[in-house]
Structure 1
Amino acid sequence: MLEKNFTPKRTICKVTFSIPEEWADKEVKLAGDFNEWDKEEDTLEKKKDKWTITKRLKPENTYRFRYLIDGEKWENDDAADKYVPNEFGTEDSVVEIGK
């Protein structure tokens, strides 16, 4: 699930990425264009019934991303704005940040 909230001047968009708790047993990492696909930089926190993280992203950009589940399985976001093919023969999730 994606939730987008702009700062008052719309210079930053706070995007909350979340997936259901049952998708992972131990950990969930977020990798994408915004962190150079670093699998260690962004770890989702387990809160109630979901895994979640909020990133501050620049408006007027499009970002590819995926979740790394328990260090071994890549998943897309069910609520992504769209999906695009990647060089591994699968698809990446995309979040589009408007103005």
Structure 2
Amino acid sequence: MFTKQYLKTKDVCRVRFKMRKKVIGTAEKVNLVGDFNNWDENAGAMKKLKNGDFSAVLDLELEQSYQFRYLVDDTRWINDESADIYLPSPFHGEENSVITI
């Protein structure tokens, strides 16, 4: 899931991405991978919280849409349950989550 916070002092939206433990179980690592980091599977490491959730914060440009997914333990791809929409991925016939700012 994610939350959007539009900043008054900058032309960006601060987005807090969260992957809940109830969705990913006992995962050791979650990466946030998408258009904003050129789909680099190693660039978007999320911080593991004490309760087992994972979190990351990004400042994203306004009036843009970004496709993304979560990569859990380098083996399992998961979409965001709160995505604005889903679009077909060119890989493996699956869908990507989309956030629109």
When normalised by structure 2's length, the TM-score is: 0.90
Q: Distance in 2 between matches of 1:80 and 1:95?
A: 6
Tell me if 1:58 matches 2:61. Answer: yes
More strand by share: 1
Query: What does residue range 1-99 of structure 1 map to in structure 2 within 5 Å?
Result: 1-9=1-9, 11-22=11-22, 23=24, 24-49=26-51, 50-88=53-91, 89-97=93-101
Runs of 4+ more than 2 Å apart: none
Query: Which stretch of structure 1 is more off in the superposition, 87-96 or 47-56?
Result: 47-56
Q: Distance in 2 between matches of 1:52 and 1:92?
A: 19
Q: Distance in 1 between matches of 2:9 and 2:89?
A: 34
RMSD: 1.2
Q: Distance in 1 between matches of 2:66 and 2:56?
A: 15
- The number of residue pairs the alignment matches comes to 97
| Residue identity opposite 1:20 in structure 2 | R
Q: Distance in 2 between matches of 1:60 and 1:75?
A: 25
When normalised by structure 1's length, the TM-score is: 0.92
